[in-house]
Homo-oligomer: A and B are copies of this chain.
Amino acid sequence: MRRFVIGSARSLIERSRQNYQFQRPLLSSSYRLLSSTPAVDSPSSSSSTMAPPVALNTINPKVIECEYAVRGEIVTLAQKLQEEINTKPDAHPFEEILYCNIGNPQSLGQHPITFFREVLALCDHPTILDKSETQGLFSADSIERAWKILDQIPGRATGAYSHSQGIKGLRDTIAAGIEARDGFPADPNDIFLTDGASPAVHMMMQLLIRSEKDGILCPIPQYPLYSASIALHGGTLVPYYLDEATGWGLEVSQLKKQLETSRSMGITVRALVVINPGNPTGQVLAEENQKAIVEFCKQEGLVLLADEVYQENVYVPEKKFHSFKKVSRSMGYGEKDLSLVSFQSVSKGYYGECGKRGGYMEVTGFGADVREQIYKVASVNLCSNISGQILASLVMSPPKVGDESYESYSAERDGILSSLARRAKTLEDAFNKLEGVTCNKAEGAMYLFPRIDLPEKAIKAAEAEKKAPDAYYCQRLLTATGIVVVPGSGFGQVPGTWHFRCTILPQEEKIPAIVTRLTDFHKSFMDEFRG
């Protein structure tokens, strides 16, 4: 956690120190707490008793330092409980485990968009395309789209490695989709298709980080992919705190302070990560705010790494998603003014196709020589998976008015998005009714990040179990209710405050029961520890 200890204002530094003096023993002496592997499933029984030929203290320390809370200890425990229920249905006071730890909609019953899956199936097995039975099974426009995509693939070979940036015709489609979204030109040669957004983030970190003297400005709380990737590549995470009191506001003054402090400590800040809509915090940035961020990056020569994977997930009428590319172009800034990378994924949005591992980054404002290096790194892994590439093109060019699938497609899409909005509101209201809990709106993304004021006795009980207080709360919640959430300490939070991240993804008909379970648990937890 040393890499977190850069504070911008003195008070922040002091609070950080206080915080990390508290958290560090928990985090470093037992990384298992936040990021270990499922004891049940991962290590084979045979290997657990051996004298290891490769000792833990001989492996890359960057790997050991890296942490990833979203699949951490709580999930391991949840998997164990699930197995116990499988064997003995009444082993616990709940019938099923509810995974609210990760934005994985289809694991909780969300159905895929039919049109997308039709096209994927046809591209997987194109020999059925001109069979008569296929007309009865697939929509006409999915057949037409599959033909169009196959014609964009050299030799129609969906089983061949593609260009290392992805199939050119699919990149054309994606660029056209970006243009339609933004009203500004997009170049297919700026698109790098990737196996989800995560490898794209790693690629940029690998490119930018030379040593721990290189820093990356990251929001706190943040999606822990960023802290993990920075740790794996040996850089320094420079935190900037989002302001919970103003709905997780992003203050440019805060960015400036942290940048100055870093520089005074000899850190070269290379990039700013902005997650919009926010993860885990769910806020949607206002356009004016985005302009100030763009201006900051331009003036300070920072690469803007814009995580825009939740661009379709906006739930409040007063907010709208604007891409940073659109914002910067609308300010008159072009290639020469700002290095900007936008990350997009098929895992989120209304599609939620996490298992397909599709995504892209749009890379603008880099010189040709650096672009060649990005291409080279992409080429070492040859290409991303073709189904994911196809799906990335589909989400950026869904059926249009007049297409046979349009009505069913838009009904599916709107059904999912409006239900997510209702679920977000219901959960937000429920959290805000709990004693000592305050919860900002999920304006977008897929999460709520309520703050809990834990009683002193609960904090002591957590210390006694060598757990962070929020981790302790989450574990108690799990064992009492089967609900899996991720402690705020996995994302970072202002020292002395405690949170957890809860997805809004359980099926809508289950939400009332979840609210009841949560409320009952919280009440009894508070009763147990109230001073």
Q: Which positions in A face B, CB cutoff 8 Å? A: 32, 35-38, 41-48, 50-56, 58-64, 66-68, 70-71, 102, 104-109, 112, 114, 117-118, 120-122, 124-125, 127-128, 131, 133-134, 136-137, 154-155, 157-165, 168, 187, 189-190, 195-196, 198-199, 202, 206-210, 225, 228-229, 232-233, 270, 301, 303, 334-339, 347, 352-357, 364-373, 375-377, 379-388
Per the bound structure, the CA–CA distance linking A339 and B131 in Å amounts to 51
CB-CB < 8 A to A67: which residues of B?
A: 376
Contact B136 A125 (CB under 8 A): no
Rounded to whole angstroms, the CA-CA distance of A125 and B270 in the bound complex is 44
**Which of chain B's residues have a CB closer than 8 A to the CB of A70?**
379
> With A107-B161, A137-B134, A198-B381 given, is the CB distance from A42 to B189 under 8 Å?
yes
Pairwise interchain contact B189-A43, C-beta atoms closer than 8 A: yes
In the bound complex, what is the Cα–Cα distance between A338 and B210 (angstroms)? 34
Q: Indicate how many identical chains form the complex.
A: 2
A344 to B: closest C-beta gap in Å: 16
Q: Is B357's CB under 8 angstroms from A47's CB? A: no
Q: Is the CB of A199 within 8 A of B368?
A: no
B102→A161 contact, CB < 8 A: yes
With contacts A187-B46, A189-B43, A190-B44 known, is A379 near B68, CB below 8 A?
A: yes
- Cβ–Cβ contact B370 & A198, under 8 A: no
Residues on B with beta carbons closer than 8 Å to the beta carbon of A68: 376, 379-380
> Are B55's CB and A367's CB within 8 A?
yes
Please, could you name 27 A-B residue pairs with CB atoms under 8 Å apart, sorted by A?
Answer: A36-B376, A37-B379, A42-B371, A47-B364, A47-B366, A48-B368, A50-B335, A50-B336, A53-B336, A58-B210, A60-B209, A63-B206, A71-B164, A104-B160, A107-B154, A109-B157, A112-B159, A117-B124, A117-B127, A124-B387, A133-B134, A161-B354, A162-B355, A195-B381, A198-B381, A356-B386, A385-B385
8 Å CB contact of A47 from B56, B60, B365: B365
Q: Beyond A121-B122, A157-B107, is A371–B199 a contact (Cβ under 8 Å)?
A: no
Apart from the given pairs A58-B270, A106-B160, 13 other A-B contacts in the complex at a CB distance below 8 Å: A38-B163, A47-B335, A47-B364, A50-B335, A51-B367, A53-B337, A54-B339, A60-B233, A63-B373, A70-B379, A118-B125, A195-B357, A355-B383
Interface residue from B47, B108, B357 paired with A384 (Cβ < 8 Å): B357
Chain B residue with Cβ nearest A35: B376
B51 close to A159 (CB less than 8 A)? no
- CB nearest to A384 among chain B residues: B357
With the chains together, A380 CA to B42 CA distance in Å?
Answer: 15
Contact residue among B46, B301, B355 (Cβ-Cβ distance under 8 Å from A159): B355
- A367 adjacent to B159 (CB under 8 Å): no
Interface centre among A50, A60, A164, A199 (most CB of B within 10 A): A60
Contact pick for A128, options B56, B137, B364, CB 8 Å: B137
Least Cβ–Cβ distance between A350 and chain B, in angstroms: 12
Q: How far is it, in angstroms, between the C-alpha of A195 and the C-alpha of B356 when the chains are bound? A: 11
Q: How far is the CA of A124 from the CA of B163 in the complex (A)?
A: 24
By a CB distance below 8 angstroms, the chain B residues around A134 are 133, 137
Contact of A377 among B66, B334, B357 (CB under 8 A): B66
Given contacts A43-B371, A137-B133, contact A155 B355 (CB under 8 A): no
CA distance A47 to B387 in the complex (A): 30
User: What CA separation (Å) do A68 and B160 show in the bound complex?
Assistant: 19
User: Which of B157, B165, B208, B357 interacts with A42 by CB under 8 Å?
Assistant: B165
